[in-house]
Amino acid sequence: MTVRIEKLIYKDFEEFYKLYSLTLENDFPGYTKPVIDYFLNKIYTREALINWLSSGWKIVFIAKNQEKILGFAMLDKPYGGVCFCRWLGVLKKARKKGIGKKLINAWLDFSKSYGCHKVEIASQPESREFYEKCNLELEGKRNLSYFGINQYIFGKTIGQPDDEVMTKD
């Protein structure tokens, strides 16, 4: 299967949003239904995401096989030299084929090209082993954290802190 990674553009937004909603609804077992509804209907709505994408506050990479979207990584705009990956998901039937790793690499490449010195992610317990396999470093565990789940904090240093990068925008 040939999978390429692209930056999300407007024409693919609806298909991306369908996969994003499906992933939140089915693949984050620690979040209750009201929490998922809150994410989808109050925070990460279509309108909010379109605004954030067009203003650069969020960056989304998608994984495509031919024209079908199989996965996504949603990043926050780098802040303080650190790029945080907010959401990551791969379509259930396309998992364990290396797509998640490709999305992680796209995140790392983007962060390096931005000049970031670090990347970070907060993993739900179910995905801990995946991030270890991606060679991110486990930096700690938050107990009963945001929205009531335990989170494993992973990070990776990718450069030296740079005042110009950390204070731009």
Ligand X SMILES: CC(C)(COP(=O)(O)OP(=O)(O)OC[C@H]1O[C@@H](n2cnc3c(N)ncnc32)[C@H](O)[C@@H]1OP(=O)(O)O)[C@@H](O)C(=O)NCCC(=O)NCCS
| Residue partners of 1: CB distance under 8 A and separation at least 6 | 65, 94, 97
Residue 22 to residue 89: CA distance in whole angstroms: 10
**Residue 100 C-beta: closest distance to ligand X, Å:** 3
Q: How many CA atoms lie within 13 A of 167 on its CB side?
A: 3
Q: How many CB atoms lie within 10 A of CB 6?
A: 13
Nearer of residues 90 and 108 to ligand X, judged by Cβ: 90
Contact between 101 and ligand X per CB under 6 A? yes
| Interface size with ligand X, residues (CB under 6 A) | 19
The letter for the amino acid at 100 is: G
Among 19, 61, 107, 127, binds ligand X (CB under 6 A): 127
Contact region with ligand X (CB under 6 A), list: 109-117, 125-133, 137-145, 157-165: 125-133
Task: Compare residues 146 and 162 and give the one whose CB is closer to ligand X.
Answer: 146
- What residues from 7 to 26 belong to the interface with ligand X (CB under 6 A)? 23
Selected from 49, 100, 110, 154, the binder of ligand X by CB under 6 A is 100
Compute how many other C-beta atoms are within 10 angstroms of the C-beta atom of residue 145. Answer: 12
Instruction: Give the whole-angstrom CA distance, residue 18 versus residue 166.
Output: 34
Cβ of residue 101: shortest distance to ligand X, in angstroms?
3
Angle at alpha carbon of residue 15, lines to 9 and 85, rounded to 5°: 65
Nearest C-alpha neighbor of 79 from the set 119, 107, 109: 119
Find the residue with minimal CB distance to ligand X.
100
Contacting ligand X (CB under 6 A), which of 64, 86, 97, 118?
A: 97
Query: What is the amino acid identity at position 155?
Result: G
Site string for ligand X, 64-93 (x = CB under 6 A): ------------------------xxx---
Q: Footprint of ligand X on this chain (CB under 6 A)?
A: 23, 27, 88-90, 95-101, 123-124, 126-127, 129-130, 133
